[in-house]
Amino acid sequence: MNAGQTSTPQQGAISQGPVAKGPWIDIDLGALCDNYAMLAGAAPGVPLAPAVKCEAYGLGAGPVARTLCNRAGAREFFVVYPEEGAALRAALNDADSVIYCFGGPAEETLPIFDTAKLTPVLNSLDQAALWAARKPGAEAALHLDTGMNRLGAPVSSLADIAAVNGLNITLVMSHLACASEPDHPKNREQRARFMEAAQNFSGARLSLAASGGALMGKEYHFDLIRPGIALYGGSPFAQDDARIKPVAALRAPILQIRHLAPGETVGYDAAFTAERPTRIATVAIGYGDGYPRAGAGRGEAIIHNERARIVGKVSMDFVTLDVTDLKKPAEPGDIAEFFGPSLRLFEAAAAAGRTAYDFLTGLGGRAHRRYL
Query: pLDDT digit string (tens) for 342-351?
Result: 999 999 999 9
Please indicate whether residue 21 is annotated as part of the active site: no
What pLDDT shows up at residue 19? 43
Give tens-digit pLDDT for 351-363: 999 999 999 999 9
What's the confidence (pLDDT) of residue 1? Answer: 39
Q: How far is CA 143 from CA 99, 140, 170, 218, 263, in A?
A: 15, 10, 11, 21, 59
- Among the listed residues 21, 218, 268, 328, the single catalytic one is 268
pLDDT for 35 beyond 70: yes
Average pLDDT, the chain: 94
Q: Is the pTM of this model over 0.85?
A: yes
Among 354, 296, 336, 289, residue whose Cα is nearest residue 317: 289
29-232 has the same fold as 14-25+246-371: no
Q: Average pLDDT, stretch 185-200?
A: 97
236: nearest Cα among 174, 181, 299, 291: 181
Confidence of residue 365 (pLDDT cuts 50, 70, 90): confident
* pLDDT of 8 strictly over 80: no
pLDDT reported for residue 187: 97
**Catalytically annotated residue among 53, 135, 245, 313:** 53
E strand or H helix at 299 = none
Work out the average pLDDT over 12-25.
Answer: 66
What mean pLDDT comes out for the span 220-238? 98
Reply yes or no on whether the pLDDT at 4 is more than 70: no
Residue list, annotated binding site? 150, 316
Q: Does CATH place domain 29-232 in 3.40.50.450?
A: no
Q: Is 53 a catalytic residue?
A: yes
Q: Which residues pair with 98 in a beta bridge?
A: 76
Where do the domains of the chain lie? 14-25+246-371, 29-232
* Rounded-to-integer distance, Cα 369 and Cα 372, Å: 10
For residue range 119-139, what is the model confidence (pLDDT) as tens digits? 999 999 999 999 999 999 999
Report the C-alpha gap between 103 and 97 in whole angstroms.
Answer: 19
What are the backbone angles phi and psi of residue 186, rounded to the nearest 5°? -65, -30
Q: What dotted CATH number matches 14-25+246-371?
A: 2.40.37.10
Binding residues for substrate: 150, 316
